[in-house]
């Protein structure tokens, strides 16, 4: 069993939610693997993972759950295996498929993590969040930069409203530390949202960072 004694006092107000919340992570790549490992090490027990890809050699520069022996294997399967090695008591459901706006869930979802790398799928997650009224923790990275915000139905604009007109770029270069920072900030936001700490969360705010110039900025939306 995972020992969380070194941070239990920092999450004591959401201990029951560590056990009972159902967390949906869409994308088991750069952002997703860092988010997933953080969630499991924090003590979250119930996690659902969607990804439809296999592990490729270029993935290993930033996708921390995988190693060279995993190349060619299914991402969600290897993610589940590695996460259960950290905490065997987790309940991890995996779906080796691409999520879509018609995806339904057999049980209630408490949080969605946007860990995908294209705006089209991000907008689909936005639609799902609005349909089921689930908070969505968004992140995106490029080169030395990243951005994080929380989409909370009924409290914030939709992701589509914020990024209307934005289009995806192919073959984006990204520095691994940019991915690790963005994903870790996503998990930090999850703790705030589950704690109902809306004052300190990125609700109606977006955080931009640029580690090349050591710049962090929060803009009100």
Q: 97-145 pLDDT, tens per residue? A: 999 988 888 789 999 999 999 999 999 999 999 999 999 999 999 999 9
Residue length, the chain? 221
121 is a domain residue: yes
Tell me the pLDDT band of 206, cut-offs 50, 70 and 90.
very high
Decide if 1 is inside a domain. Answer: no
Instruction: Give the C-alpha separation, 126 to 110, whole Å.
Output: 14
When divided into structural domains, the chain yields a total of 1
Q: Report pTM.
A: 0.96
Q: Where are the alpha helices (DSSP H) in 27-169?
A: 30-42, 75-86, 119-132, 159-162
pLDDT digits (tens, 9 = 90+) for 58-85: 999 999 999 999 999 999 999 999 999 9
Give the model confidence (pLDDT) of 145-169 as tens digits: 999 999 999 999 999 999 887 777 6
pLDDT the model gives residue 167 = 72
Q: So what's the pLDDT on residue 213?
A: 98
**Residue 170: pLDDT over 90:** no
Question: Which CATH number covers residue 176?
Answer: 3.40.50.720
Containing structural domain, residue 58: 8-220
Cα distance between residue 200 and residue 84, in whole Å: 32
Q: What is the pLDDT of residue 106?
A: 72
Task: Please state, rounded to an integer, the average pLDDT across all residues of the chain.
Answer: 94
- Beta-strand ranges (E) seen in the chain are 22-26, 46-50, 91-95, 111-114, 136-142, 145-151, 205-210, 215-220
Q: Is 43 strand, coil or helix?
A: coil
Q: What pLDDT is recorded for position 164?
A: 82
Residue 3 lies in a domain: no
Instruction: Tell me if 2 is assigned to some domain.
Output: no
Q: Count CB atoms within 10 A of the CB of residue 72.
A: 9
How many other β-carbons are positioned within 10 Å of the β-carbon of residue 19? 12
C-alpha–C-alpha distance, residues 4 and 61, integer Å? 28
The confidence score (pLDDT) of residue 171 equals 66
């Amino acid at each position: 069993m995972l020992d969380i004694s070194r941070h239990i006092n920092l999450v004591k107000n959401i201990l029951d939610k560590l056990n009972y919340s159902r967390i949906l992570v869409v994308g088991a790549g750069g952002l997703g693997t860092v988010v997933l490992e953080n969630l499991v090490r924090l003590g979250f027990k119930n996690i659902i993972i969607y990804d439809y890809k296999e592990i490729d050699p270029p993935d290993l520069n930033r996708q921390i759950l995988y190693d060279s022996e995993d190349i060619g294997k299914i991402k969600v399967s290897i993610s589940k295996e590695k996460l259960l090695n950290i905490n065997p008591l987790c309940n991890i459901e995996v779906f080796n498929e691409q999520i879509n706006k018609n995806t339904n869930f057999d049980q209630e979802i408490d949080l969605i993590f946007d860990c995908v790398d294209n705006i089209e799928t991000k907008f689909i997650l936005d639609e799902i969040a609005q349909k089921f009224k689930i908070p969505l923790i968004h992140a995106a990275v490029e080169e030395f930069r990243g951005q994080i915000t929380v989409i909370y139905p009924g409290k914030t604009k939709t992701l589509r409203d914020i990024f209307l007109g934005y289009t995806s770029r192919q073959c984006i270069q990204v520095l691994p530390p940019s991915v690790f920072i963005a994903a870790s900030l996503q998990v930090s936001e999850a703790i705030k949202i589950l704690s109902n700490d809306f004052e300190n969360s990125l609700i109606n705010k977006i955080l931009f960072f640029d580690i090349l110039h050591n710049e962090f900025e929060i803009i009100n939306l």
